[in-house]
Amino acid sequence: MHPALSVIFFTVTSGAGFGLYSLTAVLQLFRLGPSLDRTQLLVALVTSLVLIIAGLLSSTGHLANPKNAWRSFMRVKTSWLSREAVLAVAFFPFAFLYLIGVIFYGAHVPIFFVTMGLIGIIFGFITVFATGMIYACLKTMRQWNTPLVPANYLLMGLTLGALIHMAIEAYFGADLQFISGVAGTALVMTGVMKGIYYFWIDRVSGPTINTATTFTRARVRLLDTGHTAGTFLTEEFGYQISEGLRSVLRTLVFVLGFILPLILVALAAYLAPGAGAFALAVTAVVSSYVGKMIERWLFFAEARHVVNLYHGAQHT
């Protein structure tokens, strides 16, 4: 599939925003780790909402006719894209009410605002899950048609959210021992899940030109593509990357996305609170964000639609 920058930015950035909001609310509402004061909570929650809104706005850049974006809300029963749009909009009232509760009451919000925060967490997780299911439900692309896809989307968002949360705590000079453990665990889990995904798509075969044509007793070979220039199908669904570039980018995914941030998180945890720990935490966020942008680019570039079988590909 042709990688679209607007969709890559949307899925990574809004996923990070939902991850940051959910993690901040979970840690605070369930009293896990050091308690944040009103200012720290507000910075974390506002940052998460800004990331989510920026991501959602960028997604309209992928539409050929943005004024028809409202139609994406009309197919909730059959479309994961429509469910994602509805869930993302439904998230905001609860998130803003929890934010208002923090503004007025600080860390110890009344039960009404606690309920709003919990519902916001649920909507946040389900929205990211729906984003992953937009791709995982497509049986025409074996690289996407797996439960590993929504699992990766959820873990990627949670990992970036944990790293941004750690950077915010570092800015305010908080003790990073607990949040660094959360971020480190998320990095390891996400890296392992990504490794499993790459292992799976490299070894599990999908439809072939034989199964597509139902001629399964001998090798089928396309004699002519039927066109002399690129078409929408070949340009949008037949995107190709070289084996060398694929290997380099996969290495960068693990180095920038997981290994380097994990080292920086560990170093920041053992430094005294201050400018050094903050610089390491911010560097970890930037490194992981770049790594996940590359990962998401590869996610699209490596997907092979079955239509390629009718344009010369032997298998997907």
Per-residue pLDDT tens, the chain, 316 aa: give them.
888 888 899 999 999 999 999 999 999 988 887 888 889 999 999 999 999 999 988 887 777 777 777 777 888 888 998 999 999 999 999 999 999 999 998 888 899 999 999 999 999 999 999 999 999 999 888 889 999 999 999 999 999 999 999 999 999 888 888 999 999 999 999 999 999 999 998 886 778 888 888 888 888 877 777 777 777 777 778 788 888 999 999 999 999 999 999 999 999 988 877 888 899 999 999 999 999 999 999 999 988 888 888 777 777 7
209 is written with which tokens? 């030109």
> Does residue 316 form part of some domain?
no
Indicate the number of domains in the chain: 1
Q: Which domain does 241 fall in, by range?
A: 5-221+230-311
Output the CA torsion sign for 192, 197, 202, 205: positive
Q: Is residue 45 part of a domain?
A: yes
For residue 253, being part of any structural domain is answered with yes
Rounded to whole angstroms, how far apart are CA atoms 132 and 295? 14
Domain assignment present for 61: yes
Q: Are 288 and 252 in contact (CB under 8 A)?
A: no
pTM, 2 dp: 0.90
Measured distance CA(270)–CA(268) in Å, rounded:
5
Domain harbouring 88, CATH code: 1.20.1630.10
